[in-house]
Amino acid sequence: MSGTRPVVYTDAVAPLRERTREALADDELHGNLATAGASWAAGRARMGREHPFAQMRERGRAIRRDNIRHLPELLARLEERVTAAGGTVVRVSDGEAACRYITDLAAARGARTVAKSKSMATEEIKLNEALEEAGLRAVETDLGEWILQLAGQHPSHIIAPAVHLNREQIRELFAAESGEEVPDDREALVAHARRRLREVFAAADIGVSGVNLAVAETGTLCVVENEGNARLVTALPRIHVAVMGMERVVEDWDQAAHLLQLLPMAAIGDDAATYVNLITGPRAPDEADGPEELHLVLLDGGRAALRGTDLEEALDCIRCGACLYSCPMWRSVGGQAYGSPYSGPIGAVITPLLEGMRGERSSELPFLSSLCGSCHDACPVGIPLHDLLVRVRGRVATPTHRRDRRLFALWSRAWSSPALYGASRVGARIGLRLFGRRGWIGRLPGPAGRWTEQRDLPSRWPPRE
């Protein structure tokens, strides 16, 4: 990763095994994940009936492959058009540089309050922490993100960040934040948040948004949402800062229209999001609203180095979250257990890539997958995520994995010899009898104990019912 300093996430408190064990024991979490998963699957099935999804997916894949192949040209054109429309474009190599640009800008303009709309890129660069360190008040305004901010947690899902919390947990958070009595009613909770967050929109000096897609042809940033907070964030404050992963650029409106339709289909099982905000530069001189300044922060953060490698397709991702819902691992442990803002199959692939294959998560996350391929089926732009997972596994080999390799080599040599194979059978029979209780082994010592932690092993064949 020449030239870029990857972000290494340091906020994972417990090792993966402990995080997953905790998640697996959480019945409430399982209930919430099941509700969320079922609702996604129903919407997705409806989309399959109403639209030629397979063809749309093929076109989506062709568009994204083409975009990444022409990334440097598209970025140059985007930069030129955004600048021509009166915006400021800054390219940053890593998250630290992105945060520094934004905090410097805030200091120069005397800003105090920052209203944010949902953005995975700002989670990736840990912008909120940087803003708070700089003495600014940063408030998430997407309802799910705000709930998480109040709970002091990271998003568990790209699209639906607070899927793991139920209504009563949310009510308690709202009551604690406002010091008010908050009724235990879904609509009243939404109305409460609406009023509290309007205070933030009215006070904010800077609005920070992400970018779902940028259209090179006209220099337009597309921000997709359902709540309306992204529009308020990009229309009311004096300054709008958009943070965008550099891979999210498309060529023209024909491509953009297709992806803008595909994104909500895959994400929420609907063929349109409620709001799509298309922003071309700051407000014109004869307009009465809109920001006076627009800053586009183009983040590399390890992305450029992926072009031309066998992991390049990870850049095709449009962050819809479909692979998360489809993943049996994610549906079992939820997003929190991944310990990265990006969870699920795509998170298991890009977290190591963006971290430069360093850090604990890089060596763990690619293995939090059964390689069943359902993520590939769910992906609206056809990323072969299961192949990428295998490739990333190959790159993050650690001492443990090297030890595994030696063990497998030893095993292979042993079973290539008829005498040693026979001896191992005798040894196994003795071992099974030693540990077996009524035909089953419930616990094994040493490293083998990890296998029996979740399952029983039959000590005779066929196993006893």
The residues that touch other proteins, with contacts defined as CB under 8 A, are 35-36, 39, 85, 141-144, 147, 160-163, 166-167, 170, 186-187, 189-191, 193-195, 197-199, 201-202, 217-220, 226-229, 231-232, 234-236, 253-254, 256-258, 260-261, 268, 271-284, 286-290
Of 240 and 386, the one with the shorter C-beta distance to other proteins is 240
Backbone torsion region of residue 390, taken as left when φ is above 0, otherwise alpha when ψ lies between -120 and 50, otherwise beta: alpha
Q: Which residues make Cβ contacts (< 8 Å) with residue 144, sequence separation at least 6?
A: 118, 155, 160, 161, 162, 163
CB of 40 to other proteins, least distance (A): 8
Cis bond leading into 462, ω under 30°? yes
The residue among 161 and 382 lying less far from other proteins, judged by its C-beta, is 161
Helix 27-50 to helix 253-268 angle (10° resolution) is 130
In angstroms, what is the C-alpha Rg of the chain? Answer: 25
Token pair, residue 45, equals 């099935």
**Phi-psi category of 339—alpha, beta or left, where left has phi over 0 and alpha has psi -120 to 50?**
left
For the bound state, the minimum distance from the C-beta of residue 85 to other proteins, rounded and expressed in Å, comes to 7
Name the residue nearer to other proteins (CB basis): 155 or 301. Answer: 155
Least distance to other proteins from the beta carbon of 343, Å?
A: 17
Judge whether 347 and 314 are in contact, CB under 8 Å. Answer: no
Which CB, 268 or 337, lies closer to other proteins?
268
Rounded-to-integer distance, Cα 104 and Cα 130, Å: 11
Name which of 216 and 392 has its Cβ closer to other proteins. 216
Question: Minimal distance in Å, beta carbon 35 to other proteins?
Answer: 6
Q: How far is the CB of 194 from other proteins (least distance, A)?
A: 6
Give min distance, CB of 288 to other proteins, in A: 3
Q: Would you say 291 or 356 has its CB closer to other proteins?
A: 291
| Burial class of residue 183 in the structure, from the number of CB atoms within 10 Å of its CB (0-12 exposed, 13-18 middle, 19+ buried) | middle
